[in-house]
Chains A and B, each alone.
Chain A
Amino acid sequence: MAKTWKRLRDVVTVASNGDQISEFTFPANDYLKVVFFIKKQGTGDMTLFPNAITSGDNTFTARYGKDFGSLTSNNNHIGIHGNYGQLEGDCLATYYISNKSGEEKLILWEYALGASGDNAPDSFEASGKYTTKTGQITSFSANCGSGGFGAGTWIAVYGIVDDTVTDEKTTISNVEDGTRFYETDTRKIYRFTPSTLADSSESSLTDVVFDADTMTGSVTYSGNEITRTGSSSWVNGLNSNFFFRNSGTQTIECVAQKTGTSAWCLFGLASAKTVESSNMDDQMEYAIRSADDGRTWIRQSSGNWTQVSNTSDNVTFKIVNDRTTVTYYANGSSIGTTTHGTPASTYYLMTLCAQTNVDGSYKFDYSGDITTGDPSKWTERGSA
């Protein structure tokens, strides 16, 4: 097998006379074929809207005509426009779309339609483009004037897909500890380690356990307390040995005694484990940053750091995420909130501390639904 055309999502069907077609999404694809069968209901023009662009700047241009006549241009409008209201009856509409990211989207479409019974059918031929170059078309909605579509109208979207290639050993289930996998094409040998993942919940603040394997830079810590870091740069830090599951309220607390010189503490929720780089503070989605002189910033939804009211030098910070709203506290008082959409499936506690010469003290606690341990894995053990 190889590439072929595939239906990209379930067909969308209009349930009741007069309904419009609400936005529905599908996976991105470089080429789209859209088959749209319209049961005539209203009398208005029919327009297919990519990516929910139903108003605002005119980002479409087209040329179209009916009944095999000449095609006239219609520049600067919204949506893949159909002039359906000038035509009659049910309609088979077929669209082909070049849907390349970074370029304008080019569209060819045509209708065969007509009033029922003895009436001769009409033709409609068109081409057009959606001039937004960024990204690809990944959704459609459609309107048919004020009268909407007839019940039973449906729209199907197809795209070109290729074979799926996966690592075979990752597809095998019920593997026992220590199983040996020999890759016949690469001659590599792997050993299997089962998952050690375990779920638990803490309803009250509990000492964070750090994961030494995630350390970047140099951090001195004992239990849940960090006392020294290797430099004043934001490159010294580590993760908790757990991640928050996508349930319940997630709370992390830092009791910061910033007695050091140029002492900074940054901590927050990160959707992935720390990745070493020259400046790592942007890896936290929701976080607090505090300097030894009392200046404090919060970071909301991976945005910029926003300075909030100064607080005292030694302070207890807390971040509470109920998975709808994130609230930031200093000594029990809110210093900011942010609302976010669908939360990440996992959040790690991440901290970066920076100071020179004199030890500080940063103690971390948490509460919430967590998972500890490691997923199953295959580890390379040589080759044959």
Chain B
Amino acid sequence: MANFLEGLRIEGSSTLTSSPPQTSWKKLGSGTISSGSATASTSSFTAKDNMMVLGNINGGNGYALQFGHSSGAIDTDNNYRQRHSTDGTTNTTTLRSDMWCYYDSADDQIFNVSEISNYNGAEKFAFMKSASRDGTTPKLNKTVGKWTQTNQIDKVQLKSYDNVSADSKFVVIGCDNDESDSGTNFWESIGSKTLTSTESSFSVDLTSTKDFLMFVFTKEKTGGYVNPKLAFNDNTSNYKTRSSDNGGSPTDPSGGGTANIFLRAGEADGRSFTVGYICNLAGVQHGVITDSTNAGSEGAGTAIDRNSAYGWWQDTSRITKLNFTKTASGSFASGTKVEVFGGNI
């Protein structure tokens, strides 16, 4: 800040840095299911038009969300509906008392990211994605859910159907359509890299440790195919991936592939774009949820692919670095770009 002195003198800097407007998702509430319990709720919060819930459950039996409105009790009546895919097996359920997204009671850990509409006067919709694991076996689970109440959600409960084995945390974030420029956004940049030369691998150091990470990754390529893979902290062991190509049944990567998460964002010979979420809570293994599109050859006459890759880094070290590697003959080209954001519970 400029310093105004006597005698028409001012001291200041050649550069004045101002923060970007804080008009997106902010933390609304959080909760912890204590070990030996099965549910935890947020306090009531100011309702927002758009919501996300990010959470992790250790042990227990399942991952489900329930909502409350008008600062009343959590709605445990049959006001929820859902359609789900548990590792490729699809079904629907109506007249439920919650909306759930997991594989089965054998899950040892479940990491979930849910995008939820919270527009006043309309039913609420959620798109839920869960990476779950039974021991070292990962599963890929998706749910679309609906809460038939039209009042805005101002309280969220995370629920398992049995008591969890260790503290299980979640955070609710949200923003209004006219979110004011105040406070601090939940997603803060903690890493960024744009390649300026051709590389066969690269990494992004994180400037701080956050409980949940979100990243966007645009891959440029040169040479042959470039199948990107994701690892952490220069560690190349104890990874598991479960992926689905173009909505097909989820599969494990051929040959096992425990050295990294297979993003499946390069099986077609083109550019790719990946959006991913990572659980980076302390003391737990790290779930990863990604969706990618593979552009294939240029032009509108070539089919494009969509790939979901969910996985685990079965290590409890906090993630401080993202390592991008690849297989196949090509390389990451100049212009490849990664932006990493993080937020705390």
Contacts and interface: CB of A to CB of B under 8 A. Distances in A.
A178 interface: yes
A101 to B, nearest CB: 10
A363 B292 CA distance: 66
Tell me the dominant secondary structure on chain A's binding face.
Answer: strand
Given A6-B21, A163-B18, A114 B8 contact: no
Nearest to B218: A98
Interface in A215-270: none
Interface stretch (B117-125, B131-139, B197-205): B117-125
A108 B293 contact: yes
Interface in A22-51: 30-31, 35, 37, 39
A98 B247 contact: no
A120 B82 contact: yes
Given A11-B178, A68-B142, A75 B303 contact: yes
A68 B20 contact: no
A125 B246 CA distance: 9
Contact of B50 (A35, A103, A129): A35
Interface stretch (B31-39, B182-190, B309-317): B182-190
B196 interface: no
B148 interface: yes
B126 A112 contact: yes
A29 to B, nearest CB: 11
Interface string A1-31: 1111111001101000000000000000011
Interface of chain B, main secondary structure:
strand
A60 B23 contact: no
Contacts of A70: 246-248
State which size class the interface on A falls in: 35 or more
Given A76-B301, A96-B216, A179-B8, A4 B20 contact: yes
Interface in B10-52: 10-25, 49-50
A275 interface: no
A107 interface: yes
A104 interface: yes
Nearest to A32: B216
Interface in B134-191: 142, 144-146, 148, 175, 177-179, 184-185, 187-189
Contact of A172 (B10, B19, B50, B82): B10
Given A37-B119, A37-B122, A181 B12 contact: yes
A121 B83 contact: yes
Nearest to B176: A11
Interface in B79-100: 81-85, 90, 92-95
A160 B218 CA distance: 14
Contacts of B126: 92, 112
Nearest to A36: B117
A221 B53 CA distance: 73
Interface stretch (B65-73, B223-231, B323-331, B333-341): B333-341
A59 to B, nearest CB: 6
A15 to B, nearest CB: 14
A6 to B, nearest CB: 5
B306 interface: yes
Contacts of B255: none
Contacts of B177: 11, 13, 154, 156
Interface string B102-128: 000000000000011101011101110
Contact of A3 (B95, B303, B339): B339
Interface stretch (A138-146, A183-191, A319-327): A183-191
B302 interface: yes
A108 B273 contact: yes
B158 to A, nearest CB: 19
A168 B115 contact: no
B184 to A, nearest CB: 8
A114 B304 contact: no
**Which 4 residue pairs are nearest across A and B when measured between Cβ atoms?**
A1-B19, A127-B293, A3-B189, A127-B306
Interface of B: 2, 8-25, 49-50, 81-85, 90, 92-95, 115-117, 119, 121-123, 125-127, 142, 144-146, 148, 175, 177-179, 184-185, 187-189, 192, 216, 218, 220, 246-248, 271-273, 275, 291-293, 295, 298-306, 335, 337, 339, 341
5 contacts: A71-B246, A94-B127, A160-B339, A163-B17, A181-B11
Interface of A: 1-7, 10-11, 13, 30-31, 35, 37, 39, 58-65, 67-71, 73, 75-77, 89-92, 94, 96, 98, 100, 103-104, 106-108, 110-114, 116-123, 125-129, 131, 152, 154, 156, 158, 160-169, 171-172, 175-176, 178-186, 188
Given A63-B246, A128-B304, A163-B18, 17 more contacts: A1-B184, A4-B189, A37-B122, A64-B306, A70-B248, A92-B117, A94-B115, A96-B275, A108-B275, A108-B291, A112-B115, A123-B83, A123-B127, A126-B306, A168-B13, A168-B15, A183-B13
